[in-house]
Amino acid sequence: MKLTSIICAAIFSASAVIALPTDLGDGVTLVPREPRMNVRRAARARKTNPKISAVSDASIDAITNNTNVDYSTNWAGAVLIGTGYKSVTATITVPTPKKPSGGSSSTQYAASAWVGIDGDTCQTAILQSGVDFYVQGTSVSFDAWYEWYPDYAYTFSGFSISAGDSITMTVTASSTSAGSVKLTNNTKGKSVTHSFSGETNKLCETNAEWIVEDFEENGALVPFADFGTVTFSGASVTTTSGSTLGVTGADILDIKQNNVVLTDCSISGTSTVICTYV
């Protein structure tokens, strides 16, 4: 989820000093994620939070045919729980988001797909990177971003994304307080990276995640977009021992809000996670 706080002028000044654009070459510049603006131009800062659990209900399980699903208000997908997780990766095809049935063309709907380390059973920090999808009326847009929770997410500026693009997402922890992310647009032949170091909030390296999210802005979940289907292919995690694991044995999550299930996620084979809007 994404959180918004009212920040005093002094904090804005401090963040302006440390959050400067970085030239990545090839015409790609990394800049701090700017708050998105709604029609009334109120700032909305974007931030992912750990998984928020929702109560399971056997009568709802039948809707998605998942008898071993865990419900969350913000996360859908798969979480592998273990130890010594160092690098998580997967490739998605960027969907075309739509307003949900009964939705308004004047409302902006959104969803996000990302890979990450921690945020489920370990909630002190999350190393993550992914793509956001937005739709309002006939207008569709996308953002590529990175985040080390509890800091805010930041946008990779100049990294073009279109519906149908193949995007490989990888996050790597070099220690519990340092790491890197890499997004590659396989369709357009472009990559961007960002490195973290000296993070105060440390990873546990015990959760590997492939997630579709209903994130939070302005202190509330954004209206959730109908994202169709997001498939995480080539989903894997490497460990400190050098082994590579797939998604076998991962916990399945579905988003449930107001006692209504919004997603249907499942695992196919050893390296594929499929999430569908329902």
Would you call the peptide bond into 21 cis, given omega within 30 degrees of 0 as the criterion? Answer: no
Give which of 275, 189, 269, 193 is closest to 232, Cα–Cα: 275
Active site (annotated) includes residue 205 = no
CA–CA separation, 254 vs 168, rounded Å?
Answer: 23
Residue with tokens 């992310």: 181
| Share of the chain residues as helix, strand and coil, in percent rounded to the nearest 5 | 5, 50, 45
DSSP 213-258: E--EETTEEPPBPB--EEEEEEEEEEETTS-EE-STTPEEEEEEET
Q: Which of 147, 199, 205, 213 is catalytic?
A: 213
CA–CA separation, 9 vs 224, rounded Å?
Answer: 31
Give which of 138, 166, 180, 155 is closest to 230, Cα–Cα: 166
Token pair in block for residue 192: 């961007």
β-pair type (190-196, 178-185): antiparallel
Where b means 16+ CB within 10 Å and e means fewer, 73-93 reads bbbbbbbbeeeebbbbbbbbb
Q: Which residues are catalytic?
A: 213
